[in-house]
Amino acid sequence: MNAFEKNHLRVSLRELYESALAGVDPQRAVKRALRRPALARAVQSARRLGLFAVGKAAAGMLEGAPEADAALAILPKGYPPPVRARVELLFAAHPAPDLSSVRAARRSLAFFRSFSDRDVVLCLVSGGASSLLCLPRPGITLAKKRAAVSRAMASGASIVEINRLRKRLSAVKGGKLGRATLARLVTLVISDVPGDDPAIVGSGPTVRGRRGDLVSVVASNRTGLDAAARLARARGRRAHIVTRRLEGEARQAGLRFGLAARRLEPGAALLAGGETTVTLSWRPGKGGRNLELALAAAIELDGREGIGLLAAGSDGIDGSSRAAGAFADGATLERARRRGLDPEEALRHHDTERFFADLRDLLVTGPTGTNVCDWVFALRAGNGKRKT
């Protein structure tokens, strides 16, 4: 694959990623949801309307919500604040909770308790909320809770398993925050979990199962995949969405995806989404599940001309790396060999950021303001043409 073809594929892959992000834009997702009659009536019925937003997409979701009598938002440290002025704003720790997460949880409980049975609280929940709101149940210390969750993460547990553990150890998760108020709750969720169960996203702090409450998933990983597929088809490509969600060890998922990409017909696109896991070794380097997936796929694609791929997190952050993800193609390993880089060693030590940084193949975006897990896109050069 010559330099022009490689660059063209890379530009097209980034366009797919950006299209997927636009498809899960938090502001537009909330606005669309609140045009539904049942949700609109519930919000308009409030004597007092409270607005509560928590998670990586909190700022964007707030921009799609109506003005409220009181508003509280909790974002990860370092994330840009929302534009709207009338909101109490707290920043808490992610991915591991600290005392700022405990303070955010206590303030959230006080906020919910301030509403009566004639009021409505519009709750905007997205991925990352589990760490941002952390109040261990009685008898459990913050240190013990952090240690238990860290062990689960390091063992390769799925996000569903981790969030179930968090619920058991928490005084606010699993609907317990919602049970602190008499108000009616309307919860809108941007999902980052398999199956899009709103009770799992952010460990479901406001999904309490009370009659009269409304809960709706307004964007998900599949929403982004569908948006990217529409763009690929508009560019004249045949777009195939993998029906099996990405899961399991990142390396194995990468090998499977690379094998599927090898079978693409000229001009076609392959799209997949989900969230893999990485079982860490002792003293791992810097990297993430998308970087490991991309490198494993590159091993499968080694020597295959005209195929490129991008694996990236929708939140713009991949594990301990500074990147959202990485590009790879059939020449990745050859270029690595010329630079003295060993892909197997990078995978073994989970030190994939340095590997892709040396090749200038990292995708660095910074926080995107949303979170619906990860996407992987592959393109094969050929007859896909831009429609006019």
Q: Specify if 385 maps to a domain.
A: no
Chosen domain end from 169, 191, 219: 219
Same domain, 94 and 131: yes
Domain CATH for 278 = 3.40.1480.10
Same domain, 344 and 201: no
Same domain, 183 and 239: no
Over residues 10-60, the pLDDT tens digits come to 999 999 999 999 999 999 999 999 999 999 999 999 999 999 999 999 999
Q: Specify if 388 maps to a domain.
A: no
Domain CATH for 184 = 3.40.50.10180
Q: Are 18 and 325 in contact (CB under 8 A)?
A: no
Over residues 93-122, the pLDDT tens digits come to 998 899 999 999 999 999 999 999 999 999
Q: Specify if 136 maps to a domain.
A: yes
In one-letter notation, the amino acid at residue 29 is A
Chosen domain end from 165, 185, 219: 219
Q: Specify if 164 maps to a domain.
A: yes
3-state secondary structure of 364: coil
Same domain, 149 and 282: no
Same domain, 58 and 15: no
What single string gives the DSSP state of each residue in 149-192?
HHHHHHTT--HHHHHHHHHHHBSSTTTTTGGG-SSEEEEEEE--
Same domain, 176 and 103: yes
In one-letter notation, the amino acid at residue 40 is A
Chosen domain end from 219, 250, 285: 219
In the chain, the percentage of residues whose pLDDT exceeds 90 is: 81
**Prediction pTM value:** 0.89
Q: Specify if 360 maps to a domain.
A: yes
Q: Are 379 and 307 in contact (CB under 8 A)?
A: yes
Per-residue pLDDT at 327 exceeds 70: yes
Q: Specify if 13 maps to a domain.
A: yes
Per-residue pLDDT at 237 exceeds 70: yes
Overall number of domains in the chain: 2
Domain of 365, in residue numbers: 3-23+222-380
Same domain, 184 and 243: no
Mean pLDDT for the stretch of residues 216-224 = 98
Mean pLDDT for the stretch of residues 350-362 = 97
Record the tokens describing residue 99, joined without a space: 């005392």
Distance (Å) of CA 346 to CA 191, 293, 340: 31, 12, 12
Q: Specify if 167 maps to a domain.
A: yes
Residue with tokens 């409030």: 46
